[in-house]
């Protein structure tokens, strides 16, 4: 079969039929069909339709079809040969290139055509930008309406201000402001700080009159209020547990201390923020210690206990004095 003089027995039509193809198919179709049939009929394949005789027929048909396709391709001229056989265009036909732009020699026409392309690209870019702007402004009609409403509000406000100003001028002309306190006296300016400029003084005075406070003063006030509230809270929790504490009460006191430590940690963050904005270095604050605050709460609780016990002892002595007072008075009467 591998000899050069081998001639297959199948006819061309039978070969196409064996490969399940039609005449005029492409070489890729032939190869795909041969591959599928070889997998189907090859003796070494694991399919149930393996047949050596059928495989030999498929191989012979594949060679016949390939030789037939090769013969047809040789008989039909290729595209390159067709292009070579086509008559070349005459010299004057070259002037139809470059989209008919320009005059002169081909090199001059090429330069003119490049400039034409640049101009055309510039016009296209301008048209694209114009379309984008039109689409943007078409979608901004709502914002235009809002601007119109805002301008109407501004006009109304200005009209009211003009009306108020006219009323003030009319009252001044009538003499309604002649009986004001301090009329004819010089204005008292910069009596507190003569070294500050007038604008800063007036701004500070306006801010103070309206209750404005700097940020660091507000933070300092919040920190002090927070630490005082936390101290009172942990002292109240210690009073509720009593003395001595049972094991459940000790667990509850541990939870109170954990929550107090978390609150102190958050408060220390506020202290850091305060130290960043405070303008005076000596006004900066240090962090609060959880252990120190808990020890302080314990000492306060012990002081309360001592005060309560002292008041109890004083009450008992008063009761004893009341009980034995009539006896002492009787002895005094007898001596008299």
Instruction: Indicate left, alpha or beta for 175 from its phi (over 0: left) and psi (-120 to 50: alpha).
Output: left
Percent of the chain with pLDDT over 70: 79
Please answer whether residues 98 and 113 qualify as being in contact, where contact means their C-beta atoms are separated by less than 8 angstroms: yes
311 vs 82, more confident: 311
Residues 222 and 298 both lie in one domain: yes
Chain segment 12-23, per-residue pLDDT in tens:
888 888 888 877
**CA-wise closest residue to 257 among 295, 310, 311:** 295
Q: What is the 3-state composition of the chain as percent helix, strand, coil, each rounded to the nearest 5?
A: 75, 0, 25
Chain segment 217-255, per-residue pLDDT in tens:
889 999 999 999 999 998 888 888 877 788 888 899 899
Q: Confidence band (pLDDT; 50, 70, 90) for 142? A: low
Query: What DSSP string describes 244-284?
Result: SPPHHHHHHHHHHHHHHHHHHHHHHHHHHHHHHH-S-GGG-
User: Does residue 17 lie in a domain region?
Assistant: yes
Phi, psi (rounded to 5 degrees) for 229: -65, -40
CATH of the domain at 43: 1.10.287.110
Q: For residue 213, what pLDDT is reported?
A: 83
For residues 59 and 50, give the distance between their C-alpha atoms in angstroms, rounded to a whole number.
14
User: Does residue 165 lie in a domain region?
Assistant: yes
Residues 172 and 258 both lie in one domain: no
For residues 310 and 193, give the distance between their C-alpha atoms in angstroms, rounded to a whole number.
55
Residues 60 and 109 both lie in one domain: no
Residues 225 and 296 both lie in one domain: yes
145 vs 117, more confident: 117
User: Does residue 144 lie in a domain region?
Assistant: no
User: Does residue 1 lie in a domain region?
Assistant: no
The residue assigned the tokens 């008292």 is 188
User: Does residue 48 lie in a domain region?
Assistant: yes
The residue assigned the tokens 């929550």 is 259
What does pLDDT average to over the chain? 78
Average pLDDT over residues 149-171: 84
User: Does residue 335 lie in a domain region?
Assistant: no
259 vs 50, more confident: 259
Residues 129 and 156 both lie in one domain: no
User: Does residue 295 lie in a domain region?
Assistant: yes
Residues 6+ apart with CB under 8 A from 41: 49, 50, 51, 52, 54, 55, 58
Residues 222 and 300 both lie in one domain: yes
Q: Confidence band (pLDDT; 50, 70, 90) for 114? A: confident
For Cα atoms 35, 41, 46, give the angle at the middle one, nearest 5 degrees: 100
Residues 47 and 122 both lie in one domain: no
Q: For residue 275, what pLDDT is reported?
A: 92
Lowest mean pLDDT: which of 126-130, 241-245, 286-290? 241-245
Residues 249 and 305 both lie in one domain: yes
Enclosing domain of residue 65 = 12-72
| Total count of domains within the chain | 4
For residues 237 and 190, give the distance between their C-alpha atoms in angstroms, rounded to a whole number.
53
User: Does residue 18 lie in a domain region?
Assistant: yes
Q: For residue 250, what pLDDT is reported?
A: 87
Q: For residue 310, what are its two tokens?
A: 């002292």
Inter-CA distances, 85 with 77, 79, 81, 221, Å:
10, 10, 6, 101
């Amino acid at each position: 079969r591998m000899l050069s003089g081998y001639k297959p027995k199948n006819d061309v039509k039978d070969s196409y039929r064996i490969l399940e193809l039609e005449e005029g198919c492409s070489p890729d179709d032939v190869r795909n069909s041969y591959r599928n049939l070889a997998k189907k009929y090859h003796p070494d394949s694991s399919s149930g339709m393996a047949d050596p005789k059928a495989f030999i027929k498929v191989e012979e048909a594949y060679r016949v079809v390939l030789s037939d396709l090769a013969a047809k391709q040789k008989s039909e001229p290729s595209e390159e040969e067709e292009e070579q056989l086509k008559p070349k265009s005459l010299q004057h036909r070259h002037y139809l290139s470059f989209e008919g732009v320009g005059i002169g020699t081909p090199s001059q026409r090429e330069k003119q055509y490049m400039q034409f392309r640049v101009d055309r690209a510039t016009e296209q870019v301008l048209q694209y930008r114009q379309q984008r702007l039109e689409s943007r402004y078409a979608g901004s009609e709502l914002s235009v309406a809002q601007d119109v409403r805002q301008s109407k509000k501004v006009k109304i406000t200005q009209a009211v201000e003009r009306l108020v100003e006219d009323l003030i001028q009319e009252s001044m002309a009538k003499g309604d402001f002649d009986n004001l306190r301090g009329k004819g006296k010089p204005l008292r300016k910069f009596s507190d700080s003569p070294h500050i400029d007038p604008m800063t003084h007036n701004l500070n005075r306006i801010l103070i009159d309206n209750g404005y406070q700097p940020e660091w003063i507000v933070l300092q006030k919040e920190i002090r209020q927070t630490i005082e509230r936390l101290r009172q809270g942990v002292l109240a929790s210690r009073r509720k547990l009593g003395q001595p504490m049972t094991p459940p009460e000790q667990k509850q006191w541990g939870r109170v201390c954990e929550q107090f430590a978390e609150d102190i940690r958050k408060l220390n963050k506020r202290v850091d923020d305060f130290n960043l904005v405070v303008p005076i270095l000596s006004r900066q604050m240090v962090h609060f210690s959880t252990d120190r605050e808990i020890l302080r709460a314990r000492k306060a609780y012990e002081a309360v206990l001592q005060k309560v016990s002292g008041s109890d002892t004083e009450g008992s002595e008063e009761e004893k004095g009341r009980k034995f007072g009539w006896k002492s008075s009787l002895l005094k009467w007898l001596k008299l």
